[in-house]
Amino acid sequence: MTTLAGLVLPARAKLNLVLRVVGRRADGYHLLETLFHTIDLHDDLWLARGGRGIELHVTGDDPALVVPADADNLVARALARLAAAAGVAPDFVVHLHKRIPHGAGLGGGSSDAAAALRLGHELLGRPLGDAALAALAVALGADVPFFLRGGSQWGRGIGDELTAASVPPRHFVLVVPPFGCPTADVYKNHAAHWQSGPAQDSVARVTGPNTRDSAVHTGFCNDLEPAAERVRPELAALRRRIEQIGHPDVRMTGSGSTLFLAFAEAAAAQQCAAGLEAQLRGGVRVVVTRSAGAGADAVCRVERPGDGWRRVPFAAGQGGRSA
């Protein structure tokens, strides 16, 4: 394969430190109030112009993490829509390396899509405005606009009405079961057990607390936990086991299935992870990570991906940005 010079971004996972279901729209979409927070755990996406059509290659730290490299992959869909909006041929060579589990509530596919939009937009010379890029993002998924920004954001509406939040950095222990929770099934189950008011178009912006550390003052919570545990009873058993081990503050992210614990100090997170690894069985993975930096990662220039990608940050004025 011809050596190409391309661009690369880490596609970071997220946690929903807070997730409340506060209403529904006439079209059935749930209205949320959620605190998105990016973490260090990430996929890598490398992109170059070339070939004919979208040539997507997918690898992973583990074979179980690899997702299909087909037209339904969110990366391929994002690039196809970007090229159509820019009026150019969708000729891209893409290498996606997976570390984020699929269907785990960590936003891996959405983050990959956002990274593809950012990289493709850079390669094409930024033909679209921010509003047009955000419109492409929300059409791919409600949380894709968040990943264009990164950091910590309150998300309202269906999760796409974003307001910057301030959350002190933390260390996290992720508990990843060997199964996912189908998002549609979790929301459907929640709807069946929830008595809601009349449909509405959005959520009042005053509902979010205005504090320096929103998550601390409101407490981590997730309204979808009961529904996810009804869809996957084994998730409830796992949560109870973690509580019995001594961690009653364990929470779920997104629509599941990943559970997480937060710590102020790295040593406490490592100690927790060691204890969980010693006692949890059945293919459960324990991952130690931490908060990512504020805002979006800068685009980097890199040679054709392989073992040990060599990332070279853009110089000022060459298209790199950290917003």
CA–CA separation, 15 and 200 (whole Å): 26
Residues 153 and 63 in one domain: yes
| pLDDT computed for residue 315 by the predictor | 32
Domain-located, residue 222: yes
| pLDDT computed for residue 287 by the predictor | 97
pLDDT band, residue 68 (cuts 50/70/90) = very high
| pLDDT computed for residue 28 by the predictor | 75
Domain-located, residue 132: yes
Domain-located, residue 31: yes
**Is the model's pTM score more than 0.95?**
no
| pLDDT computed for residue 211 by the predictor | 34
| pLDDT computed for residue 192 by the predictor | 87
CATH at 267: 3.30.70.890
Check whether 88 has a pLDDT greater than 80: yes
Instruction: Work out whether the CA dihedral 196, 199, 204, 205 comes out positive or negative.
Output: positive
Dump pLDDT digits (tens) for 135-166: 999 999 999 999 999 999 999 998 989 999 99
Could you list the active site residues?
A: 14, 143
Residues 153 and 270 in one domain: no
What value, to the nearest 5°, has the Cα angle with vertex 286 and ends 284 and 288? 165
Domain-located, residue 321: no
pLDDT band, residue 4 (cuts 50/70/90) = low
pLDDT, average across residues 74-99: 97
Residues 146 and 61 in one domain: yes
Residues 151 and 18 in one domain: yes
Residues 156 and 219 in one domain: no
Check whether 321 has a pLDDT greater than 90: no
Residues 37 and 141 in one domain: yes
CATH at 138: 3.30.230.10
Q: What is the mean pLDDT of the chain?
A: 87
Check whether 51 has a pLDDT greater than 50: yes
Alpha helix segments (H runs only) across 280-320: none
Domain-located, residue 158: yes
Domain-located, residue 93: yes
| pLDDT computed for residue 3 by the predictor | 55
Residues 145 and 221 in one domain: no
- Total number of domains in the chain: 2
CA–CA separation, 81 and 88 (whole Å): 10
Residues 113 and 262 in one domain: no
Q: Which domain holds residue 149?
A: 6-166+294-313
Residues 114 and 20 in one domain: yes
Dump pLDDT digits (tens) for 182-219: 999 999 999 888 765 444 444 333 333 333 333 444 47
Domain-located, residue 269: yes
Check whether 302 has a pLDDT greater than 80: no
Peptide bond into 214 cis (omega under 30): no
CA–CA separation, 228 and 235 (whole Å): 8
pLDDT above 70 coverage of the chain, percent: 85
| pLDDT computed for residue 215 by the predictor | 40
Residues 145 and 209 in one domain: no
Domain-located, residue 323: no
Residues 240 and 129 in one domain: no
Residues 158 and 192 in one domain: no
